[in-house]
Every structure is written in C-alpha cells, then in structure tokens.
C-alpha cells in the first residue's frame, strides 16, 4: 500500500510570514524523496474542512493585521474541525501568529483582547516592552525523544501557559513564550504551538520527520521510523542556527554584566 501524507494549510495567503512556505516545501520534498505520496490542501477564509481529510495541519505566522483579519473566521468556520483534529491525536504545527490564534485569548497591535480557538491552553497579551526578536535554541521532547530545536523568533505578544499546559520545550537561548519563564511553545497530544518561525523545519529535519511519522501513524506512541535521508546540508543549517542562538546568549550576558558591573 502506498503511504500518503495529506497536509492542510490554514490561511496560506494571510499567514505566511518568514518563509512559512519553506516549511511546506520541505515536508513535501521529504515525502517525495522517500516515495511517500504527498497531497497539499488549503483552507482559507470562509472555507471549512473535515478533520478526516488531513493527516497534518500547518498554520503559519502573520502581521498583527493579518491575524486580526482571520481570527473571527477561524472561530466561525474551523473551530470544530481543528479541535477534533487535535483531539484525534493527529499532528498540527502552529507557528507564531498561528500559535497565538489557537490559544484561549490573544491581543495584538490594537490592544483589543480577542477570543482564540482554545485548542491550546495558553493566552497571549500584547507586550508593552520591546519585541522579542532573535535566534533561539530550545530543548524539546517529542515522542519521548529529546530534540534540540533551533530557529528564529520575532513577536510582540507574550504568551503564558495555563496551569496544566505542557510547553513544547525549554529555552536554552532566546526569549521563548514571554522572555521570563523559560518556556517555549506548547505541546498538546501531538500538536505543537511555537514561536520558532519558518524555515523551522529545514533547519530541524528531525522535527519534520517526527511530524511526518505522526501524520502516517497518529495513534501509534512509537510510530515506525522513516527511511533516513542525506541530511548534511540540513544539519549544517541546524548547527549554524544553534551557534547563532548561543552566540547571542553570550553577547547578551556580556552586555548585562557590563551594565550591572
């Protein structure tokens, strides 16, 4: 039987800041290179979908105004399907603005507090301080595997986890959810919310493969591994991104020592 991954992207025209499309292309290529059939579908404003139609959902980041434009539509046309999809244990990746929209509440540039989908037990406030920008390194755990994830963040919003929520990972360098509590993102069943932007997956091929493995066997706590690929370029990009995050941390520490000392 041919294996197949059906990827559904929510609001690809509105939420696609910072190379989100690179993440999608990367998922497609990793399937094609392994002879796994890949189908890409989209659901934009006004379009509903059935959770049975997809194996993996992606929702990207956006400017405040793009987020404001799709927030109400998400609640009106996709709430039930996204919630059911996540509760079926299928994998979803929500990045930055998409991550905020899937929380309980969020507020953006205009300061107004809005209702989110509530799929993730997190809330986002508009920060009053500087935007949290820069390279970030995170220690995460997915399917019992410890993962070092490297990426880039750029957000004004400060996200806090609800009492029972599990973070996607712990910040090693960078800001993460709010720059204060050391958490990054959220993990619910097999769904991830994160501030790490595209090209998150090309820089973290192991994360991409775990998502694909989950898409192929969502209810298997130990999904079969995928055929290995030649990842030397990807691993070089991963190392470069990790090094950038660690360099930033060193510089920040040095600057704060100069200020306080």
154: contact with ligand GLN by CB under 6 A: yes
CB 165, CB 122: distance < 8 Å: yes
Binding mask of the shown chain, residues 191 to 230, with x at each position contacting ligand GLN by CB under 6 A: ----------------------------------------
Q: Which residue is nearest to ligand GLN (CB)?
A: 61
CB neighbour class for 144 (10 Å; exposed up to 12, middle 13-18, buried from 19): exposed
185: contact with ligand GLN by CB under 6 A: no
Q: Binding segment for ligand GLN among 28-36, 62-70, 182-190, 245-253 (CB under 6 A)?
A: 62-70
| CA separation for the pair 239, 185 (Å, rounded) | 21
Among 156, 173, 187, 212, binds ligand GLN (CB under 6 A): 156
Instruction: List, in sequence order, every beta strand (DSSP E) within 144-245.
Output: 145-155, 157-161, 169-173, 183-184, 186-188, 191-194
Residue found by looking up tokens 């189908």 in the block: 39
Among 78, 155, 203, 238, binds ligand GLN (CB under 6 A): 155
H or E, element range at 12? none
Question: How are strands ordered across the β-sheet holding 105-107?
Answer: 113-115, 105-107, 122-126, 157-161
Subset of 63-102 contacting ligand GLN (CB under 6 A): 64, 67, 96-97
Q: Which is nearer to ligand GLN, 49 or 175 (CB)?
A: 175
Closest to 194 measured CA to CA, from 243, 219, 161: 161
| CA separation for the pair 95, 102 (Å, rounded) | 10
62: contact with ligand GLN by CB under 6 A: yes
CB 106, CB 114: distance < 8 Å: yes
Among 71, 116, 151, 157, binds ligand GLN (CB under 6 A): 157
Confirm whether 31 is a catalytic residue. Answer: no
31, 155, 197, 238: the active-site residue: 197
Q: Which is nearer to ligand GLN, 62 or 205 (CB)?
A: 62
Q: Binding segment for ligand GLN among 40-48, 75-83, 152-160, 246-254 (CB under 6 A)?
A: 152-160
**Active-site residue list:** 96, 197
Residues of the shown chain interacting with ligand GLN in the complex, contacts defined by CB under 6 A? 17, 61-62, 64, 67, 96-97, 108, 154-157
């Amino acid at each position: 039987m041919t294996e197949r991954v059906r990827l559904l992207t929510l609001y690809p025209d509105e939420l696609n800041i910072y190379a989100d499309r690179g993440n999608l292309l990367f998922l497609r290529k990793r399937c094609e290179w392994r002879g796994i059939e890949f189908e890409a579908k989209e659901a934009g404003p006004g379009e509903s979908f059935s959770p049975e139609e997809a194996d993996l959902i992606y929702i990207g980041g956006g400017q405040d105004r793009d987020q404001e434009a799709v927030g109400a539509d998400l609640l009106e046309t996709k709430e039930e399907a996204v919630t059911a999809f996540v509760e079926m244990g299928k994998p979803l990746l929500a990045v930055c603005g998409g991550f905020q929209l899937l929380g309980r509440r969020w507020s953006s540039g205009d300061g107004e507090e809005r209702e989110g989908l509530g799929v993730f037990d997190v809330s986002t406030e508009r920060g009053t301080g500087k935007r949290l920008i820069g390279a970030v390194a995170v220690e995460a755990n997915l399917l019992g595997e410890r993962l070092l994830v490297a990426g880039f963040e750029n957000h004004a919003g400060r996200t806090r986890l609800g009492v029972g929520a599990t973070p996607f990972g712990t910040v090693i360098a960078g800001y993460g959810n709010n720059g204060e509590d050391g958490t990054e993102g959220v993990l619910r069943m097999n769904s991830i919310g994160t501030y790490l932007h595209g090209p998150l997956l090309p820089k973290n091929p192991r994360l991409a493969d775990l998502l694909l493995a989950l898409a192929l066997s969502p209810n298997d706590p130990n999904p079969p591994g995928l055929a290995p690929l030649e990842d030397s370029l990807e691993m070089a990009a991963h190392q470069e991104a990790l090094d950038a995050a660690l360099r930033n941390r060193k510089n920040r520490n040095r600057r704060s020592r100069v200020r306080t000392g």
